[in-house]
Structure 1
Amino acid sequence: MFPRLKNSWGALLLSLLAAEAGATQLIEHADRGHVSVNISASETNRLAIEGRRIANVVPSVKGVLAGQKDEGLGAYYFTLANAAPNQGSVTLFVSDDKGVTYKLILLPRPMAGEEIIIRPPGDKTASAGRATADGRAASYQRRIKDLMLAMADEESRAGVEPVAVNREVPLWKEGRLVLLAQYLEGDMVGERYRLNNVSPSSMLLVEQELYRRGVRAVAVEHHTLMQGDSTQIYVVRERKDHE
């Protein structure tokens, strides 16, 4: 059997960091030098420039990207032409409608499609406004992480009480997924699941495979399950109107 969650904080925190890394990436100072960004190796990614429109996108090596420009929004949607998680980095030169060029180093990862927002150089007033927006984004991410930890550890709940559910959720024939409890917190809902491997083979879990519309974070206690083993799964999603 796997150890209890209290003995698995390292793995859980790594899962939380991975989930947080899946949020929108805000890129600054790419007009001054190369900036590295994570992208999905197999899914479509979105690239945009804050307050401006993309005029041109040129990869350093021809044929590595397959992309399409959104003429209405001035954004750029792209995938890797050779979708492989172990593919090397790709350098990208992006120009905006005001003649500024940005340099990105794309790092393919086995993750869900990413949204990348480039921040152009601006004045101090605009920077102050962005700092306020950054503060709100950081607060939102903090709430997600706090709810995750509240579900994982009874001592850190701080008034967030679970509502028992114990309802089986149809998944796939190799796994039995049960929604154990829900945690309502403002405009978010935390959900704690137990997944049992009921197949004769080992099972490998990846957080990105569990994302759906409205899901903001996923953390998995144990990523590899042998036959008969189980793991806890934690999900934070947007709260629906009727909840």
Structure 2
Amino acid sequence: MFPRSKKSLSAILLLTSLLATEAGATQVVENADRGHVQVNISVNETNRLAIDGRRIANVVPSVKGVLAGQKDEALGAYYFTLASESPNQGTVTVFVSDEKGVTYKLILVPRPVAGEEIIIRPPSEKATPSSRAAADGRTVSYQRRIKDLMLVMADDELKDSVETIQVNKEVPLWKEGRLILVAKYMDGEVVGEKYRLTNVSPSEMLLVEQELYRRGVRAIAVEHHTLMQGDGTDIYIVRERKDNE
């Protein structure tokens, strides 16, 4: 492992959190029912598209023949790749409809990255036009809080700025890795979790963010994605706060 100062590590992790919903292996998409939202996809590998809590009814590209896809009927998700014969080398616009008749608009940006997972968050069924307009302003503040909390977790000098709970509890994961929940950071409607993962197997361990994604997660940052035997890494997760917390 290569030593890094707290300042440089904080900058790296903050940058990762800024991109977590845009260029990470799992991208959570907000407000796609109200306007086009840009997301990254793998130019070569299979990508996965799903709607949080709902099933995909249909996916229609704006240009025919640019995508090759297959629907997972059991889960209501959609797996797709760029069609190899497609002449389109730029972005691809798709219209995604769910089982309740809501249509979402995505602009797919092909990148030379591993397969992406895209999770669309549907609108609240109780939301009114006026409440949705007010939510636009709150969304910016909410995203700012997520980014700030990620920075706090990565820099010990800032940890006193939020309520911090030391946990130091082992969390069952894979037999190849030992995962410790080090601390939780409480900040309004979001919670930060700092983990320490150690590779206890004789083989190299490769981490990808989608393995750590679960419902309610809003940002993920991994310090080192490749771990040799005995190596460890810090993992930072920001998620929604539960009712009982």
Q: TM-score, normalised to structure 1's length?
A: 0.68
Q: Pick the aligned partner of 1:23 from 24, 28, 33.
A: 28
Contact kept? 2:21, 2:29, Cα under 8 Å: no
Per-residue deviation at 1:77?
A: 5.7
Q: How does 1:102-117 map to 2 (within 5 A)?
A: 105-107=107-109, 110-115=115-120
Structure 2 partner of 1:175: 177
Corresponding residue SS for 2:172: strand
Per-residue deviation at 1:230?
A: 0.7
Quick check: 1:231 aligned with 2:230? no
Give unmatched runs, 5+ long, in structure 2: 98-103, 123-128
Per-residue deviation at 1:132?
A: 3.8
CA distance in 2, matches of 1:164, 1:56: 45
Give unmatched runs, 5+ long, in structure 1: 48-53, 70-75, 97-101, 118-125
Q: How does 1:59-138 map to 2 (within 5 A)?
A: 59-61=63-65, 64-67=68-71, 78-80=78-80, 91-92=92-93, 94=95, 105-107=107-109, 110-115=115-120, 132-138=134-140
What code does the residue aligned with 1:42 have? Answer: N
CA distance in 2, matches of 1:9, 1:83: 39
CA distance in 2, matches of 1:56, 1:145: 32
Per-residue deviation at 1:163?
A: 1.3
Corresponding residue SS for 2:173: strand
Corresponding residue SS for 1:172: coil
CA pair 239-37 structure 1, distance change in 2 beyond 3 A:
closer
Q: Pick the aligned partner of 2:60 from 16, 34, 57.
A: 57
Per-residue deviation at 1:79?
A: 2.4
Deviations 1:148-204 (A, max 9, x none): 111111223352142111111111111110011111122222111101111112212
Contact kept? 2:30, 2:120, Cα under 8 Å: yes
- Between the aligned residues of both structures, percent identity stands at 52
CA distance in 2, matches of 1:190, 1:95: 31
Contact kept? 2:28, 2:121, Cα under 8 Å: no
Contact kept? 1:12, 1:221, Cα under 8 Å: yes
CA distance in 1, matches of 2:190, 2:178: 25
CA pair 131-176 structure 1, distance change in 2 beyond 3 A:
same
Q: How many equivalent residue pairs?
A: 210
CA distance in 2, matches of 1:240, 1:95: 29
CA pair 151-188 structure 1, distance change in 2 beyond 3 A:
same
CA distance in 2, matches of 1:215, 1:103: 22
What code does the residue aligned with 1:137 have? Answer: T
Structure 2 partner of 1:120: none
Contact kept? 1:207, 1:218, Cα under 8 Å: yes
CA pair 229-93 structure 1, distance change in 2 beyond 3 A:
closer
* Greater Rg over alpha carbons, structure: 1
